Amino acid sequence: MMNDQQISEKIADNLLDLGVRQGGILLVHASLSSLGQVTGGPETVIRGILSALGEKGTLLMPALGSDANDGNPPVFDVLSTTTWTGAIPEAFRVRKGTKRSLHPTHSVCGVGALAKELLDNHGKDNTPCGPNSPFHLLPDYAGQILMLGCGLLPNTSFHAIEELVEPLYLFKENQNCTLRLADGHEVQKDYKIHNFVGWRQRYDRIEPFLKGEDLKRGKVLAANADLIDSHAMWETALPIMKKDPQFFVEKILETS
């Protein structure tokens, strides 16, 4: 059995073979269980990803702090609000040196050369994935999106594209949220919160439209991995959504 260092090295090798760019920006959605038995748990995985990116790279992970369908988002504490997006993002959130953007439902954690630049202005937005969010900025920085063992469905970056189109399903009424900053100071801010009630996200429908280098597939340990070029995804998905705003969702049928 490999030790944690060997597993981290194996993860790094697999990611580089997949096409992760050293020195690049990588937004990661990850399922720990999909990788198989990992000695050292989430920390081993995080070290492997950072090794693949190298010293000049930047690692980002969504750190969603409240369900988008929650009618009353709790107080968001940038230091202590946990994320429900998985064991790896939660371990990344509390890891020494990790920064976190300011948003009550769709914060992002990051570390590396451009983490501060990508995270610091998220607090200016009044929507989850607005123009200052890392999700919106990623294509401008030639960022990649890694779906590690979770398929193409939970691709939060799609929300930034949806916000440019504003389909009828996307937003609910404005809600006032409390934000607790790192110094303990609290501020109130009105947000447009995502809705999706009655709709199922189908971001996997982008698959047949992404060709060649735009979508690379392979294995990382036991997990199926999908590596998406974020700029190509935007260039492909936005025209589709402008033509058919409901293309990447489907109505949930009521059952009696």
Mean pLDDT of 72-100: 92
Structure tokens at 122: 């998220």
| Pairwise CA distance, residues 220 & 13, whole Å | 9
Half-sphere exposure of 89 (CA within 13 A, CB side): 25
**Contact at 8 Å (CB) between 232 and 210?**
yes
- List residues bridging with 192 in a β-sheet: 174
Q: Closest Cα to residue 116, out of 98, 140, 128?
A: 98
Of the pLDDT bands very low, low, confident and very high (cuts 50, 70, 90), residue 54 is very high
Half-sphere exposure of 169 (CA within 13 A, CB side): 18
Q: In this predicted model, what pLDDT tens digit does every residue of 209-239 receive, in sequence order?
A: 998 999 999 999 999 999 999 999 999 999 9
What's the predicted TM-score (pTM) here? Answer: 0.95
Q: In this predicted model, what pLDDT tens digit does every residue of 162-215 receive, in sequence order?
A: 999 999 999 988 889 999 999 999 999 999 999 999 999 999 999 999 989 999
What are the φ/ψ torsions at residue 217 (nearest 5 degrees)?
-130, 145
Of the pLDDT bands very low, low, confident and very high (cuts 50, 70, 90), residue 2 is confident
Q: Closest Cα to residue 20, out of 227, 252, 239?
A: 227
Angle at which helix 4-18 crosses helix 41-53, to 10 degrees, equals 40
- How many C-beta atoms surround the C-beta of residue 82 within 10 A? 12
More reliable by pLDDT, 116 or 254: 116
